[in-house]
Amino acid sequence: MQKDHPYPSAVPSVTHLIHHPYKPPAGFDAPQPGVFKASTVYFPTVADMRQREWKDKSAYTYGLHGTPTTYLLEERLCALEGGLQCMLVPSGLAALALVALAVLKTGDEVLIPDNAYGPNKALADGELRHFGITHRFYDPMDPQDLSRQITERTRLVWLEAPGSVSMEFPDLPEMVRRCRERGVLCALDNTWGAGLAFKPFDLLGDGDAGEGSLAVDISAHALTKYPSGGGDVLMGSVITREAALHLKIKLCHMRLGLGVAANDAETVLRSLPSIALRYSAHDQTARALAAWWQTQPQCAQLMHPAFEGAPGHAHWKALCDRDPGTGSAAGLFSIMIDARFSQVQVDAFCDGLKLFKIGYSWGGPVSLVVPYNIASMRQAWPVHLKPGTLVRFSTGLESSHDLILDLHQAVQAHLPMA
């Protein structure tokens, strides 16, 4: 029985305001979907409440378990990355944490590339260690090192392409093959690729996601970056293609209560249609800036996977540039500023930039710069990195001409060669 006109009193009161009989006509259709906000979801009857199944998205039971807005975003993200199931979480880091907590238990070990996103390493060294889950770092540029470190306790291997900050591009298909051979789950932090530079569930690029395909088990993604595109939303996703693995992640997600706000989901839905155009624009600008840096004597090394000589360039070419010249990359690169310049000088250079803002994260309209102390972030100084001070740039959507002028003035003012 539908209780759609429940109040007995004919006298207008605050109850009328809350239990109002008017319902707008169905069938509203427009470019952007509606924002459905809910903790409580109504059931017409108790029997219906007992029957409803939220795990397969066939119904609604509670805001935390999904709304039309979050289901819609999940499905569209699956389309972007080539997955079948998706969970939304409140940040990219929460996506990494959810994967770890869903698949690891006391006594297990997780392998992490030494150039992984820093907070993922910190999670392993903090909460995971407290739970009796051990971790080891492997050399992301050496698949043999990965194989050597896999033991019978290894339950999860993290992959990142390219690594954070130092931007080495690993031989991702080979790493995945090695995890497959040993029967170990592999999860990719796919924030850089964003489902655009390559397909995490079709690493052979033959459009086949079936039995013969080469795929990661899990793609975790900081939607905070390109899917949001505004520098104003924190969100993450965990995408899979296997129902049992997804259910494991979903139940952990539910027990941890990792809901996302409907307005934030709507913001990402609003940005998603333009993601490929923005990604390409960020990419072109980053390459223009990187090419300019190559002409500057202050730049001892360029770390942008699409550039000849950059760490892992051949792996980027093989995975992302199959049709040579058409490959894409995120708008992110680092340079090693020559060791003759002090940290103080490099900091002054960053402070002296006018268009580039100093700030973490990336994927928004404004270009960002951050100097990093790589020695404190790695087990050892990577052999392929020249000495110097690393500065990472994330390109926004400004004109590359103006950005280069800005770099030029700050270099002239703060990094004199003579």
Ligand X SMILES: *Cc1c(COP(=O)(O)O)cnc(C)c1O
| Closer to ligand X by Cβ: residue 78 or 223 | 223
| Closer to ligand X by Cβ: residue 88 or 299 | 88
Q: CA nearest 329: which of 362, 292, 296?
A: 362
| Closer to ligand X by Cβ: residue 223 or 299 | 223
Alpha-carbon distance of 81 to 196, in angstroms, equals 8
On whether the CB atoms of residues 200 and 187 are closer than 8 A, the answer is no
Q: Which residues, listed in sequence order, are joined to residue 157 by a DSSP beta bridge?
A: 111, 186
Q: Which two tokens stand for residue 233?
A: 């939303």
Q: CA nearest 172: which of 323, 316, 334?
A: 316
| Closer to ligand X by Cβ: residue 160 or 406 | 160
Query: Could you give phi then psi for residue 351, rounded to 5 degrees?
Result: -65, -30
CB of 383 vs ligand X, minimal distance in Å: 23
Cα angle value 288/290/291 (rounded, 5°): 65
CB of 324 vs ligand X, minimal distance in Å: 26
Q: CA nearest 249: which of 322, 196, 205, 185?
A: 185
CB of 287 vs ligand X, minimal distance in Å: 19
Alpha-carbon distance of 318 to 2, in angstroms, equals 59
CB of 368 vs ligand X, minimal distance in Å: 12
| Closer to ligand X by Cβ: residue 220 or 411 | 220
CB of 55 vs ligand X, minimal distance in Å: 26
CB of 272 vs ligand X, minimal distance in Å: 16
On whether the CB atoms of residues 344 and 101 are closer than 8 A, the answer is no
Query: Could you give phi then psi for residue 25, rounded to 5 degrees?
Result: -60, 145
| Closer to ligand X by Cβ: residue 370 or 407 | 370
| Closer to ligand X by Cβ: residue 217 or 406 | 217
Residue 65 Cα to chain centre, angstroms: 22
CB of 95 vs ligand X, minimal distance in Å: 7
Residue nearest to ligand X (CB): 92
- Contact residues: ligand X, CB under 6 A: 91-93, 117, 164, 189, 191, 222, 224-225, 234, 236, 361
| Closer to ligand X by Cβ: residue 235 or 300 | 235
Cα angle value 107/111/153 (rounded, 5°): 30
Alpha-carbon distance of 152 to 183, in angstroms, equals 10
CB of 178 vs ligand X, minimal distance in Å: 21
